[in-house]
Amino acid sequence: MPDQADSRAAAPPGVVQPDPAATGARRRWRLRADLLWRLRADLPWRLGPDLASRLGPDLASPLGTDPARRLGPDAAWRLRADAAWRLGPRPVAWLLAHRADLATGLAARRLGEAALPSGRFLPEAAPPPPPGVARAPVLAAVAGLAEAPDWHGPFDPAAPALSMDLHRAGGARPVWEASRLAALPLLAQAARLDPAGGHLARAEALLAGWCAANPPFRGVNWACGQEAALRAMHLALALALLDADRAPPPGARALLALCARRIAATPRYALAQDNNHPVSEAAGAFCCALLLWRDARPAAQALAAHVARLVAPDGGFAQVSPGYTRLLLDVLAVAEWLRVRHGAAPFPAPLASRAAAAALWLHRLAEPEGGATPPLGVEDGSAFADLSLAGPADARASVERAARLFAQAGADSPRDPGCAWLGLAAPARRLARAARWRSAGTMGWAEGRALALLRTGPLRFRPAQSDLLHLSLRHGTTWVLRDGGTGSYDPPEPWWWPALAGAAGHDAAVFDEAEPMPRAGRFLLARWPRTEALADGAAATDQRGNRQARRIAAGGRGWTIEDTLSGPFRAVALRWRLCPGPWRRTAAGVAGPLAAIEMHADAPLRLALEQGFESPGWGRIAPAPLLVARAAAPVGRIVTHVSLA
């Protein structure tokens, strides 16, 4: 939509205005960040094209293909300087150090040259299955595996891995999925259930074929340290299921050693991300060290330190996302299970307690009957180490496994098959679901079969979407009010970004149809609002001084959302993203099979039932109904009543 920002604002759209509060040390850091980003823009010309290209495509061509390309260069760098100031010196310094590693060739020298793995990867026979595991689901899943995976997609398999553009032609994420080698644990399960079925031979051929198609440190599948870590952990898990992890065959040892070398080549990139990357890479390095009989203590200490930084004591993860919290728990669960199996020392505190808290957080959000979690933030549809064959839509098995390992408790799946494969007994104690709770980044209310989830602050780590004060509401198994999801990190059309990740793509107020957090890069937002906690909700104030305070009241099947608005805005739009269905307009809102919604304000409201969009899965987008309430200043209060059927 066109920007209708207040004409009294002196700066044009996309340019950060001077902040009177940014004085002293804070202002000095902001100016230094601006200088760093400007120097970064100038580096390609100072270094020359060859050296600049080794810094990565987004540095050699600063605007690259990210969403900030629609801005002018000066506006884009100002936004990025603002984002760098808000991130703080630690991640920015790690990023610049990583760029220097690439530019000087240090990262490439860490990789060096390596031969293809040779020899057997897996044992020649499988042990019998554990008692009580079902045969049919595993063999059915094996029958659905691709016979000849596409390992490379549109990417050059011979290109040096560290200099590839990973965001072309739909991005690397869909290609990476097959190379995580999730088929290995599944084939190991099948080999134990059906020894004569040729499953071990198929797994052996899969590994040999992958190694032949992906020579060390060439092509897209060696481009990311986290992907090497997840691949190594799936291989380690498969070896453990086959009781071959204490003395892996030579081919497996060689592949694990290559994965460990790839993880170690770019450590500063993971540290700069402040998300799932450093956790996954440290966990992968730990598992490689265990199986290769190396000293695993440095990786264990690093893993515990990353968890201590990125997971709050209340379970809130740096990435406020059920999907990425699930990946976090799955990675930690595999590392912990292998640690216990190999008799290694316990992970340093507070890893276990933070993992238990994260499991409780995800347990609160997972629907007890089907395991669905609400779209929130970004997620990529991962289902890592999925021994229960739950798939990306059901988080119950992940919660169950993590709860048994870290909280000595069960959750919603006392007969979980994945836990049976790992020999994890069902504890008598069960995780509880609180009626009210607050964690870093979210706040929740449970009332009967309904659950409300509010996206709150504080913004300690970079937000992935402009979703502050977004509210999702579940009735039974359906999210009646919902987030639109992720879509893709490399969408085919640029309008996907604002439709799904922008403020107008969430259930919150948008002032003057202006983004409160303009996008400064593919994964970078600028001008983070100030947030504050309220007893019954939260508030956010944007850089223009516009404030929304949202309060939630739950009573049986009736939910009331009160939004108090203030600031120099001229107009406001409040959107409610609705579940697909036959919604119809009413005098004060909309009505559908699952709920009726009415909206009132202290100023005239213009209500409309419009078409929005949501992403039902990775790389997909679909129409979705949208209730929009628009009002002009001086509107100060909008109240929404939701009556669940």
What would the 3-class secondary structure string for 295-353 be? CCHHHHHHHHHHHHHHECCCCCECCCCHHHHHHHHHHHHHHHHHHHHCCCCCCCCCHHH
pLDDT at 170: 87
pLDDT at 177: 94
Which domains, from first to last, does the chain contain?
24-104 (no CATH), 266-433 (no CATH), 436-644 (2.70.98.70)
Report how far residue 66's alpha carbon sits from residue 79's, in angstroms, rounded to the nearest whole number.
13
Instruction: Identify the band that residue 72 occupies on the pLDDT scale cut at 50, 70 and 90.
Output: low
Residue range 197-243, pLDDT digits in tens: 999 999 999 999 999 999 999 999 999 999 999 999 999 999 999 99
Say how far residue 295 (Cα) sits from the centre of its chain. 30
Q: Is 470 left (phi over 0), alpha (psi -120 to 50) or beta?
A: beta
- Give the angle 405-409-413 at the CA atoms, nearest 5°: 95
Q: Is 24 exposed, middle or buried (0-12, 13-18, 19+ CB in 10 A)?
A: exposed
For 321, other C-beta atoms within 10 Å of its C-beta total 24
Q: Is 296 left (phi over 0), alpha (psi -120 to 50) or beta?
A: alpha
Residue range 408-435, pLDDT digits in tens: 999 999 999 999 999 999 999 999 999 9
Instruction: Identify the band that residue 73 occupies on the pLDDT scale cut at 50, 70 and 90.
Output: low
Are 374 and 482 spatial neighbours (Cβ–Cβ below 8 Å)?
A: yes
187: which residues sit within 8 A by CB, 6+ positions away?
142, 145, 199, 200, 202, 203, 206, 238
Report how far residue 416's alpha carbon sits from residue 588's, in angstroms, rounded to the nearest whole number.
46
Residues in the chain: 645
C-alpha R_g of the chain: 25
Are 439 and 364 spatial neighbours (Cβ–Cβ below 8 Å)?
A: no
Residue range 368-390, pLDDT digits in tens: 999 999 999 999 889 999 999 99
3-class secondary-structure state, position 51: helix
Report how far residue 121's alpha carbon sits from residue 206's, in angstroms, rounded to the nearest whole number.
10
Residue located via tokens 């340019």:
15
Instruction: Identify the band that residue 535 occupies on the pLDDT scale cut at 50, 70 and 90.
Output: very high
* pTM, two decimal places: 0.89
Over 60: is that where the pLDDT of 104 sits? yes
Q: What SS3 string covers 173-216?
A: HHHHHHHCCCHHHHHHHHHHHCCCCCHHHHHHHHHHHHHHHCCC
Name the nearest CA neighbour of 56 among 267, 265, 269. 269
Are 127 and 242 spatial neighbours (Cβ–Cβ below 8 Å)?
A: yes
Name the nearest CA neighbour of 476 among 594, 625, 323. 594
Residue range 430-463, pLDDT digits in tens: 999 999 999 999 999 999 999 999 999 999 999 9
Report how far residue 629's alpha carbon sits from residue 348's, in angstroms, rounded to the nearest whole number.
51
Are 5 and 512 spatial neighbours (Cβ–Cβ below 8 Å)?
A: yes
Instruction: Identify the band that residue 163 occupies on the pLDDT scale cut at 50, 70 and 90.
Output: very high
Over 50: is that where the pLDDT of 314 sits? yes
3-class secondary-structure state, position 631: strand
320: which residues sit within 8 A by CB, 6+ positions away?
376, 377, 440, 441, 442, 455, 463, 464
Distances (CA, A) of 190 to 197, 235, 238, 376, 528: 8, 15, 11, 35, 49
